[in-house]
Structure 1
Amino acid sequence: MQTNPLSIHNMSVAYQKKPVLRNVSFEVPEGKLIGIVGPNGAGKSTLIKAALGLIPRLSGDVSIYGKPYAEQRKMVGYVPQRESVDWDFPTNALDVVMMGRYGHLGWFKRPGQAEKRFAMECLAKVGMTEFADRQISQLSGGQQQRIFLARALAQDAKLYFMDEPFVGVDAATEKAIITLLNELKMQGKTVLVVHHDLATVKEYFDWVMLLNVQLLDFGPVEQTFTADKLQQTYGGRLTILDHDNQSSMIMNTR
Structure 2
Amino acid sequence: MNSVEIKGLTVAYHRKPVLIDVAFSVPKGKLIGIVGPNGAGKSTLIKAVLGLIPRSSGDVKIFDKSYSPKSKTVGYVPQRGSVDWDFPTNALDVVLMGRYGHLGWFKRPSKKDVAFAMECLDKVGMTQYASRQISQLSGGQQQRVFLARALAQEAEVYFMDEPFVGVDAATEKAIISLLNELKEQGKTVLVVHHDLQTVTEYFDWTLLLNRKTIAYGPTADVFNVDNLQLTYGGKLSFLEKDKMLIQP
Is the 8 Å Cα contact of residues 35 and 207 (structure 1) preserved in structure 2?
yes
List aligned pairs for 1:28-177, cutoff 5 A: 28-70=26-68, 73-177=71-175
Kindly report structure 1 stretches of 4+ aligned residues shifted beyond 3 Å: none
User: Sequence identity of aligned pairs in percent?
Assistant: 71
Unaligned runs of 5+ in 1: none
Shift of 1:18: 1.3
Q: Tell me the amino acid that sits aligned with residue 133 of structure 2.
A: Q
If the length of structure 2 is used for normalisation, what is the TM-score?
0.98
Secondary structure, counterpart of 2:68 in structure 1: helix
Other-structure match for 1:221: 219
Partners of 1:173 and 1:11 lie apart in 2 by 33
Is the 8 Å Cα contact of residues 121 and 127 (structure 2) preserved in structure 1?
yes
Q: Tell me the amino acid that sits aligned with residue 204 of structure 2.
A: D
Is the 8 Å Cα contact of residues 64 and 72 (structure 1) preserved in structure 2?
no
If the length of structure 1 is used for normalisation, what is the TM-score?
0.96
Shift of 1:226: 0.3
Shift of 1:139: 0.3
Shift of 1:240: 2.5
* Number of positions where the alignment pairs a residue of Structure 1 with one of Structure 2: 248
Q: Tell me the amino acid that sits aligned with residue 223 of structure 2.
A: F
Partners of 2:148 and 2:96 lie apart in 1 by 9
Other-structure match for 1:248: 243
> Residues 98 and 58 of structure 1: is their aligned pair in 2 closer, same or farther, counting only changes over 3 Å?
same
RMSD between aligned alpha carbons?
0.9
**1:73-96: CA deviations, max 9, x gaps?**
100000000010000111000000
Q: Tell me the amino acid that sits aligned with residue 194 of structure 1.
A: V
Is the 8 Å Cα contact of residues 208 and 219 (structure 1) preserved in structure 2?
yes
**1:151-186: CA deviations, max 9, x gaps?**
000000000000000000011110110000000001
Secondary structure, counterpart of 1:142 in structure 2: helix
Unaligned runs of 5+ in 2: none
List aligned pairs for 1:199-214, cutoff 5 A: 199-214=197-212
